[in-house]
Amino acid sequence: MKALITGAKGQLGRGLIVAAPAGWTIEAIDLAELDLTDAAAVRAHVLASAPDVVLNAAAHTAVDKAESEEELALAINAGAVAAIAGALKDTGGRLVHVSTDFVFDGTCPRAYRPNDARNPLSAYGRTKAAGEDAAGAGATIVRTAWVYTAGGANFVRTMLRVMRERDEVRVVADQIGAPTWAPGLAQVLWGLVGAGATGTFHHSDAGVASWYDFAVAIQEEALALGLLDKAVPVLPICTADYPTPAVRPAFSLLDSSATRAVLGDQPVHWRVNLRKMLEEEKALG
């Protein structure tokens, strides 16, 4: 069996390569190997590769930049997906496509289920919703949120840096969701491939947090591991106190119970996975 992994140098892409089950041949590509804004080139590459599965971990994820470059984001987040899906129809392969909690508007009174109505508030959310539509009915779509991993560009590593550099840190406390450790997400994607599951699924780590809660936990765990020398005040602020070009959902917790039912497992709490990530971060030096 052959899998084509896009976004291979990203946080999830690297996790997918490491987590690949025995017996799979992996072709891993990133922007250097394939321009995702060129739909014709994307289609030609998939046709030539003829994989059994494409795990599409590539995306334009710069949420605020997408507000001023929505056309570019749309080309990557939807145009490339349409090209992959179209080629796979010809070759008979399957598409596993990664999407986001940003397709929701944050007004739901409970965790979002896969069949809940979408209403994206940002250009990023709109282009990712378009990508879900482009993936087609036979695809496996997995929405996730707040992805991070050791060595990556993410909130955890940003917090570690600013906690070393500043006397205090201010973090938004009125955006609620749950973090997702990329290696765990990679295992879920491969699990859904193995189960032959199609349709839309959700995955994030267990538990609930605000970005403020996440930052507090990062400092506590990093201090315990010796990644930080001293504690600094972490102060909760409102979204209105930290304006950004893109509007973010205030509540985007994902209900992953359908995913758990397919995989027959239990989710790991986000704080447990945060500790694992920080241990790996310490090992990286």
Phi-psi group of 263: left, alpha or beta (phi > 0 → left; psi -120 to 50 → alpha; rest → beta) = alpha
Q: Residues 112, 124, 148, 212: which is the catalytic one?
A: 124
- The SS3 call for residue 112 is strand
Q: Let me know: does 32 contact 43? Beta carbons within 8 Å.
A: no
Q: Do the bridges between strand 234-237 and strand 169-172 make them parallel or antiparallel, or are there none, so unpaired?
A: parallel
In angstroms, how far is the first alpha carbon of the chain from the final one?
Answer: 36
Phi-psi group of 276: left, alpha or beta (phi > 0 → left; psi -120 to 50 → alpha; rest → beta) = alpha
| Of 120, 108, 113, 251, residue with least CA distance to 176 | 251
Beta bridge partners of 148: 181
Sign of CA dihedral 16, 205, 242, 121: positive
Is-catalytic flag, 124?
yes
Cα angle, residue 26 at apex, residues 25 and 31 outer, rounded to 5°: 160
Residue type, 215: A
Could you list the active site residues? 124
